[in-house]
């Protein structure tokens, strides 16, 4: 079984290209994901995971997902093997995404967008009992 679910923030806007011949859209980007522990000095380590998504989800990424957005990806781990011009064999590991979900609303740059809030919160912090 090869299944992965990751959540992180985009390091830069997705790059969209089309496969020659079939015209299938392919979006590539990198997610920044903090590890769930802190180092001795109190800092956290961040992993940068390359992601590739094909088809309609790729077009969604190109149109609606931008740098800094928090997203969830479901897919599988892929290992590409290639050889450099010098003859060295290399491996490149990435996530081949099937499903992408935006996990937060796009932040508004100004409050003039029909009075819509710049952030969405399902729960008011003052109402939380702990």
pLDDT at 95: 95
pLDDT tens digits, 65-84: 999 999 999 999 999 999 99
- In this predicted structure, the answer to whether residue 118 has a pLDDT above a threshold of 70 is no
pLDDT tens digits, 6-25: 999 999 999 999 999 999 99
* Three-class SS of the chain: CCCEEEEEEECCCCEEEECCCCCCEEEEEEEEEEEEEECCCCCEEEEEEEEEEECHHHHHHHHHCCCCCEEEEEEEEEEEEEECCCCCEEEEEEEEEEEEEECCCCCCCCCCCCCCCCCCCCCCHHHCCC
Domains of the chain: 4-35+44-107 (2.40.50.140)
The whole-number average pLDDT for the span 83-97 is 93
**pLDDT, the chain, mean:** 82
Share of residues in the chain with pLDDT > 70 (%):
81
pLDDT tens digits, 28-48: 999 999 988 888 888 888 999
């Amino acid at each position: 079984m090869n299944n992965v679910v990751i959540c992180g923030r985009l390091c830069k806007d997705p790059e969209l290209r089309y496969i020659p011949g079939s015209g299938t859209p392919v979006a590539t980007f990198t997610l920044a994901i903090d590890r769930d522990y802190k180092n001795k000095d109190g800092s956290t380590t961040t992993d940068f995971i390359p992601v590739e998504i094909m088809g309609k989800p790729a077009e969604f990424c190109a149109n609606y997902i931008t740098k800094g957005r928090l997203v969830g990806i479901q897919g599988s781990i892929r290992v590409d093997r290639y050889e450099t011009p010098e003859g060295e064999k290399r491996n490149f590991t990435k996530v081949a995404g099937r499903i992408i979900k935006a996990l937060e609303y796009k932040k508004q740059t100004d409050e003039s967008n029909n009075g819509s809030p710049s952030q969405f919160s399902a729960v008011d912090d003052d109402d939380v009992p702990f």
